[in-house]
Amino acid sequence: MSRSVLCLLLILAAVVVKAKIHNSIVEKDDRRLIPLTDAFGFSENGKLDITITDIALYRLNGAPETINSEKFGFFLSPVEADTALEQELADDAKCILDEFNNLFTFKDKSVQDVINGSLTEFTFHFVVQKGGLFYLYFANCEDDTPVSFTSRIEMYNLNSRGRKDYLSVGDTELDAVYWAMFALFTLATAAWALWVFRNKQYAHKVHYFMFALGCFKAMTLLSQALMVFYIERTGSADGWNVVYYVFTFFRGILFFTVVVLIGTGWSYMKPFLGEKEARIILIVIPLQVFANIAIIITEEESPSVKDWFTWRDVFHLVDIICCCAILFPIVWSIKHLREAAQTDGKAARNLERLTLFRQFYVMVVVYIYVTRIVVYLLKSTMQYEYAWVSTAVEELVTLAFYVWTATKFRPTNENPYLKLQGDGDV
């Protein structure tokens, strides 16, 4: 297990992410449309710089020797034009560059100089005068002609001081969101540590897991805040993305482990995990953590990678399936308590615990629904200027779930979950 963790962390450390400065390598790609960036919100007079090098065009067997350079080019597409873009793409008789205002094509003299080798690179500067939310695409309308090139894309706005701001318009408030949530989670974790210390005679192992979870969650938020800080100013996370991956890895394992342990009554009502519960922890939780980290890495990689959208959707689906899988141990415990309430003569006590388990089940379902579905819908439907709201909602719901769980399962002799004196195991 330790070797696997070490290998994963080394892999994550080797990942170089340029955040809002996109470095894309297109290698002998014959797709008609290649997405180069995710959606970026430009303010009025936002800037776009495209530097392109190592351009090469390849003719497949049987294709004419003459190449029409006007059929290769870059263009910005507003997010709301996605439907029209798909329709144009479906019509093989049309070239997308004829329907959308292209930025430049390979017919440009400087681009031709790069192709011929007389120039090493070409940089194109563009001002988005009216602003808006845009994708950047490369279009290839020439049949049987794969293309290769390397591009460096900078998308930024200018702040009040005239300095570059590499954050999308909708992400400018993330700095404040992450710092505020870091402070709140730190206070909540400190309060939990104080409560456990004062009631340590009632504390169980899972309470210390909960404390560790609070610490890693707070450190995850701290690393996110610092990531946003540096991305805003330099366009790069400056290594804080690696720190974020490490904390996210351990936070993910701890979160879903704690949910399963609480849901099975481990260290409270029984000193061991059943075979089914252990399988959930050993298989589902690492898979879920892997999916979460894969989502993060995929979304920070360039969309120009083939099947980028497919893999992103697959990882999101795996994440949701794993989240649903961790509900099974809670359901098994509810079933066990319901049966015990009818047979062992301790109906009142078991019914009290049963109510608590049902409440916990509902809260976990609500948490999963909001953070996996509602947040996605908010991102998809809200105005791009308020994209930060979905992140704030996700973190506030997470904090509410943590606080509710800590309150319900805190170490105290008055908690029905912990009243074991004279009861024996359920």
pLDDT greater at residue 317 or residue 404? 404
Which one of 94-108, 170-184, 287-301, 308-322 scores highest in mean pLDDT? 170-184
Classified as helix, coil or strand, 142 is coil
Mean per-residue pLDDT of the chain: 81
Separation of alpha carbons 398 and 181, rounded Å: 10
Q: Residue 198's CB: how many other CB atoms inside 10 A?
A: 12
Judged by average pLDDT, the poorest of 64-68, 129-133, 173-177 is 64-68
Residue 414 is given by DSSP the state T
Which domains are seen in the chain, by residue range?
21-165 (2.60.120), 169-408 (1.20.1070)
Separation of alpha carbons 374 and 390, rounded Å: 9
Q: Residue 332's CB: how many other CB atoms inside 10 A?
A: 16
Q: Work out the angle at residue 60's Cα, subtended by the Cα atoms of residues 109 and 58, and round it to the nearest 5 degrees.
A: 30
Separation of alpha carbons 190 and 371, rounded Å: 25
Classified as helix, coil or strand, 153 is strand
Q: pLDDT grade, residue 16 (50/70/90)?
A: very low
| pLDDT value at residue 186 | 98
| Tokens coding 7 | 């290998």
* Under 8 Å between Cβ of 25 and 368: no
Angle (deg, nearest 10), helices 308-325 and 285-300: 150
Q: pLDDT grade, residue 226 (50/70/90)?
A: very high
CA 123 to chain centre: 31
Q: Residue 217's CB: how many other CB atoms inside 10 A?
A: 26
Q: pLDDT grade, residue 350 (50/70/90)?
A: low
Separation of alpha carbons 136 and 262, rounded Å: 47
Residue 376 CB contacts under 8 Å (≥ 6 apart), including other chains: none
| pLDDT value at residue 91 | 65
Angle (deg, nearest 10), helices 388-408 and 347-369: 170
* Under 8 Å between Cβ of 147 and 26: yes
* Under 8 Å between Cβ of 185 and 217: yes
Q: Residue 93's CB: how many other CB atoms inside 10 A?
A: 4
For the chain, first and last CA: distance in Å?
A: 32
| pLDDT value at residue 372 | 83
Burial class for 352, CB neighbours closer than 10 Å (0-12, 13-18, 19+): middle
Reply yes or no on whether the pLDDT at 319 is more than 90: no
Task: Please give the model's pTM, rounded to 2 decimal places.
Answer: 0.81
Q: pLDDT grade, residue 12 (50/70/90)?
A: very low
**pLDDT (mean) for 186-205:** 92
Separation of alpha carbons 409 and 329, rounded Å: 17
Query: Which amino acid would we find at residue 363?
Result: M
* Under 8 Å between Cβ of 128 and 57: no
pLDDT greater at residue 25 or residue 319? 25
Of residues 122, 82, 123, 75, the one with CA closest to residue 100: 75
Q: pLDDT grade, residue 185 (50/70/90)?
A: very high
Q: Which runs of E-coded beta strand occur in 36-171? A: 40-42, 46-57, 72-78, 102-105, 121-128, 132-140, 147-158, 164-165
Question: How does DSSP assign 31-58, residue by residue?
Answer: -SEEE-S--EEE-TTEEEEEEEEEEEE-
CA 149 to chain centre: 28
Separation of alpha carbons 403 and 323, rounded Å: 20
Percentages (nearest 5) of helix, strand, coil residues in the chain:
55, 15, 25
| pLDDT value at residue 4 | 44
For the chain, counts of helices (H) and of strands (E): 14, 10
